[in-house]
Amino acid sequence: MSDTITFVQKGSESSPLIVMNSFGDEWKHVTEALDALDVQPYSLLAVTCSEWNKDLAPWKADAVFKGEPGFEGGADLYLKRLTEEIITGTVKEHGLKPSATYIAGYSMAGLFALWSLYRTDMFNGAASCSGSLWFPGFKDFAFENEFTSYPSKIYMSLGDREAKTKNKVMATVEDNTKAIAELYKSLRTEVLFEMNQGGHFTDPAMRTAKGIAFLLGARG
């Protein structure tokens, strides 16, 4: 299966470019939520990944629920395709000269957004909204590695009920997210961490829009 690529221009060719890995048509609801927020003009490149547990997983890992497939660890190959083909091709096709390029995502896409900062210097910042930071080994990875180049902004969020689960792996998400946020705050970058009400599936579009709004900044 191939990825679905959508480009939405809400500004000029020099407006910041938001790259968002989207689950289905999630990006539509995010842009609608952004319309309600006072943000700078922007362009959005939404990529609907065809293989979520492969393309967005940094490395191989066992499934967290019985009967579900494990994580195949294809993020390196996907990031190469994303940066060298999808983003580069979109920028060329639409004549973009973005003032900044950010990456944002929800759940596994939020994990991928942070991980990508360690693999490429293309992104000036990232928004990890209810990111899957329970992913086995990611907390240690974050503490043991350095960004390719220091991002200007990082946004992280989580629902206050996401850690309330009997699944021992996923129950680590709040402790991991808070620890990683504190790590990033100790570096030379602007970090905002927010706790939202509800579980993982509570209003993902607005949660993602809030993260993107932080990256963009208020309309001048």
- pLDDT tens per residue across all 220 residues of the chain: 468 999 999 999 999 999 999 998 999 999 999 999 989 999 999 999 888 899 999 999 999 988 888 999 999 999 999 999 999 999 999 999 999 999 999 999 999 999 999 999 999 999 999 999 999 999 999 999 999 999 999 999 999 999 999 999 999 999 999 999 999 999 989 999 999 999 998 999 999 999 999 999 966 5
Contact 105, 129 (CB under 8 A): yes
For the chain, what is the HEC assignment?
A: CCCEEEEEECCCCCCCEEEEEECCCHHHHHHHHHHCCCECCCEEEEEECCCHHHHCCCCEECCCCCCCCCEECCHHHHHHHHHHHHHHHHHHHCCCCCCCEEEEEECHHHHHHHHHCCCCCCCCEEEEECCCCCCCCHHHHHHHCCCCCCCCEEEEEEECCCCCCCCCCHHHHHHHHHHHHHHHHCCCCEEEEEEECCCCCCCHHHHHHHHHHHHHCECC
Q: In angstroms, rounded to a whole number, what is the distance separating the alpha carbons of residues 159 and 92?
A: 38
The whole-model pTM stands at: 0.97
Q: For the chain, which domains are there?
A: 4-216 (3.40.50.1820)
